[in-house]
Amino acid sequence: MTTAADPVSAARARLTPGAQAALVTVLVGCVCLLLGPNLPWLTAWPAAWTAPATQWVGVGAEWFLNAIKPAARGFSEVLRFPMDWANFVLGATPWPLLVGGATALGWAIGGVRMAMLGFAGLSFVLASGYWAQSMNTLALVAVSVPLALLLGGAIGILANEFTRIRGAVQAMLDVMQTVPTFAYLTPLLLLFGFGPVVGLIASAIYAAPPMARNVMLGLERVDAEIKEAAVMSGGTRLQQLFQVEIPSAASQIMVGVNQCLMAALSMVIIAAVIGGFDDIGWEVLLTMRKAQFGQSLLAGLVIVAFAVIIDRMSAALALERRRYDPRVAYSLIGLAVVFTVVFWSHLPDPATFTLLDPLAAAVDHGLGAFTADNGARLDAIKNGAMFYGLLPLKIGLDDAVLDFTWGFQWTAAMSLALYALALVAGLLLALRERLTGGLLLVIAVGMLETGIANLPWPFVLTATAALAWVAQGRGFAAIATGLLLTILLSGLFERALLSLYLSGAAVFACALVGGCIGLLCAVSPLAWRIMRPICDMLQTIPLFVFLIPVLMFFQIGEFSAFLAICLYAVVPMIRYTRHGLISTPGEMIEAATASGATTWQTMRDVRAPYAAPTILLGLNQTILYAFAMLVIAALIGTTGLGQSIYLALGQADVGLGLSAGASMAVLALIADRLVQGFAEERRRALGL
């Protein structure tokens, strides 16, 4: 209205939201940098401002847990029946029958290939000598999966019926997937008592969300005409739902079943930490404790074998419409029965099979020999990565550049020179109409100079809020700030920053390496044929197994933790990058080829932009995976939230475990929403 306001609003109009956000962040960063030395509370959140939140949570949770304990114990008694029953059936059935059964099932679902898979997979389990333990594991999965399917299905249907609760349900599913299981094992133990039931419930909690999400998605996508037809033919709501909508959504729901199975299987090892059940996870833990890589790899591969069989068969069930001649399946089962009866008295005890033991010993020996031969080289790799990569990122150039790391000492003059350089470069970018880029450069240099673990809290809060505002708008910015404040108040902020640094570094490395491998797999089918089983193995083998070779090579420390996280978190990046790049519509590629583009030009200018939303989704998964692995990495001595959670598990400290778990979930959720926001924006830009 007044003339004075006009230039301001004109300037604001010229600034994109990104530039505005970056500008505010730079300003707050400068203030922190200038005032930090004089106002210590700006740099580190004062201990006096923290509330004993972990204790409150502990007291509150214990009161609540004790209140509902009787009901939970009753539930656990009820669950014990199917558990014992499944255990008995699988344990008592002679192994030829189960091998034959799996082969027959494979045939019925997917013909010769699936039958071969079932046969080979179970034969491997048999040869490993872990048959009895494997059957116990299978019994656990056999009970927890229906439970998870039921739970997930119910949540999905409810969210579909009552659209108003959908937002809350989404948030709850996120929490179920991001709070590390270790964090709530202690409360579960208190509630449900000792034994496999705890593992069963933990895995059901973890495996239900994918089912719920897919049910929601499937029901949402049912064609409006189909729904209308159901309404017009006068069905009640329940009839519409169960006789029309759910059958129409069947293929999407089957994807959920598949994901649910895989998630349940990946939790097997967590159940073993409590014990009470002589399963394959316990075997992995025992061999881990003795640092026997070969044996723990063998036990871990048994889980991989199950995962691959279950994954491929349930995927075939979901996708393939064709069914194979049941007579072949019946004759396969008949063959198994005849085999069992004929050799009844000669059937060897599967525990005595040690066919693969020499192989395991050889792998173990090979690992030792490799470490011995390449000790100096491995140390050089580790030192290089620590000195020039991880340390500066963690504590900043200021503290990381020392005589014995880089060969010279970092001085205040160098800091000034670096900032000046960043400012000049930033200004140049700004003058070339790339203000946001220039500001981001200044921010990045400031963060590198300070180190992630030393970032002042006002800066972290502002930067997160700014990012959140750009990605998802004002509401999410407020939520993100509020969530971060709870971490600050509970006194876990320092550890959260350490976690952020380690997973941040890992995600960055994964994005780079995974992106390149994904690209390679997209252009070369041979590369994908090699990478695919490796990806499968990395995702389903118990994470613990990686820790031994990584430790042998690089010892306890952050670099080992970093590598372990990368090994696990790189997989979704590879998968999604490849998937995004190869699923570009044919017409677009034809158009590009017709206008004379080379393969690489097509890749860069057509496929890559089109694949961006998918790749961002992969990045999102990589972030979640990295956070999940942080807790496991605590077993090789990292600091940060992961260690707190593990410590709390050991000391049965409910409050600390839940608080640290919640902090971890907060970080993961914020990162998840940020990336999703940007992916959504890209998708809109592409008109998808």
Partner 1 sequence: MKSLGFGLVLSALAGPMTAAELGAVDEPIKLAINEWTGQHVTTHIAGEMLKAAGYQVEYVTAGMMNQFQAIGDGDVHATLEIWSSNVSDEYAKQVEAGGVVEIGDLGLDAKEGIAYPAHVAEICPGLPAWEALMDCAPQFATADTIPLGRLVDYPADWGTPGADRMIGLALPFKAVPAGSEGALITELRAATEKKSPLLITFWQPHWAMSAYDVKFVDLPVGNEDCFTDPAWGPNPDAVNDCDFAPSRIFKAAWSGTEEKWPAAFEILSNYQLSVEDQQPMMGAIDVDGGSVETVVAEWMAANQDSWRPVVDAALN
395 part of the interface to partner 1, by CB under 8 A: no
Q: How far is CA 584 from CA 578, 603, 614, in A?
A: 11, 10, 11
* Contact stretch for partner 1 (CB under 8 A) within 302-310, 633-641, 663-671, 672-680: 633-641
**Minimum distance, C-beta of residue 442 to partner 1, in the bound complex (Å):** 30
Of 557, 579, 680, 681, the one binding partner 1 (CB under 8 A) is: 557
What is the contact mask toward partner 1 in residues 184 to 203, using x (rule: CB under 8 A)?
-xx--xx--xxx--------
Q: How far is CA 164 from CA 167, 210, 218, 238, in A?
A: 7, 20, 18, 19
Q: Does 387 bind partner 1 (CB under 8 A)?
A: yes
DSSP result, 340-358: HHHTGGGPPPGGG--TTHH
* Choice between 273 and 333, CB closer to partner 1: 273
In whole angstroms, how close is the CB of 587 to partner 1 at the nearest point?
A: 53
Kindly provide the b/e burial profile for residues 343-367, where b requires at least 16 CB atoms within 10 angstroms of the residue's own CB: eeeeeeebeebeebeeebeebbeeb
Report the alpha-carbon distance of residue 101 to residue 105 in Å, rounded. 6
Which CB sits closer to partner 1, 244 or 634?
Answer: 634
Q: Are 504 and 452 in contact (CB under 8 A)?
A: yes
Shortest separation between residue 62's beta carbon and partner 1, angstroms: 10
Q: Which of 11, 404, 433, 594 binds partner 1 (CB under 8 A)?
A: 404
Residues 132, 241, 328, 647: which binds partner 1 (CB under 8 A)? 647
- CB-nearer residue toward partner 1: 243 or 371: 371
Binding residues for partner 1, rule CB under 8 A, total 58
Mask of contacts with partner 1, 525-544, x by CB under 8 A? -------------------x
CA 288 to chain centre: 22
Distances from the Cα of 22 to the Cαs of 14, 36, 450, 463, 504, in angstroms? 14, 20, 18, 8, 20
Residue 502 binds partner 1 (CB under 8 A): no
Nearest residue to 628 (alpha-carbon basis) of 306, 176, 213? 176
CB of 77 to partner 1, least distance (A): 12
Interatomic CA distance for residues 492 and 641, integer angstroms: 8
* CA 40/CA 260 separation, integer angstroms: 48
End-to-end CA distance of the chain: 40
Compute the least distance from the CB of residue 363 to partner 1, in Å: 14
290 touches partner 1 by CB under 8 A: yes
Residue 377 lies near partner 1 (rule: CB under 8 A): no
d(CA 516, CA 142): 38
> How near is the Cβ of 624 to partner 1 at its closest, in Å?
22
Query: Which region, judged by CB under 8 A, interacts with partner 1, from 5-13, 113-121, 202-210, 628-636?
Result: 628-636
Please name the residue that has the structure tokens 């009552």: 162
636 binding partner 1? (CB under 8 A): yes
Does 553 bind partner 1 (CB under 8 A)? Our answer is yes
| Helix residue ranges, H only, 583-653 | 586-594, 599-602, 608-633, 641-651
Q: Which residue stretch of 142-150, 204-212, 382-390, 494-502 sits at the interface with partner 1 (rule: CB under 8 A)?
A: 382-390
State yes or no: residue 132 binds partner 1 (CB under 8 A). no
- CA dist 450 to 118, 169, 320, 395, Å? 55, 39, 55, 6
Binder among 635, 641, 658, 670 for partner 1 (CB under 8 A): 635
Binder to partner 1 among 27, 432, 650, 684 (CB under 8 A)? Answer: 650
- In Å, how far are 87, 205, 603, 636 from 72, measured between CA atoms? 22, 15, 56, 34
> Binding residues for partner 1, per CB under 8 A?
185-186, 189-190, 193-195, 273-278, 282, 285-286, 288-291, 368-369, 371-372, 375, 379, 382-383, 386-387, 391, 402, 404-405, 544, 547-548, 551-553, 555-559, 634-638, 643, 646-647, 649-653
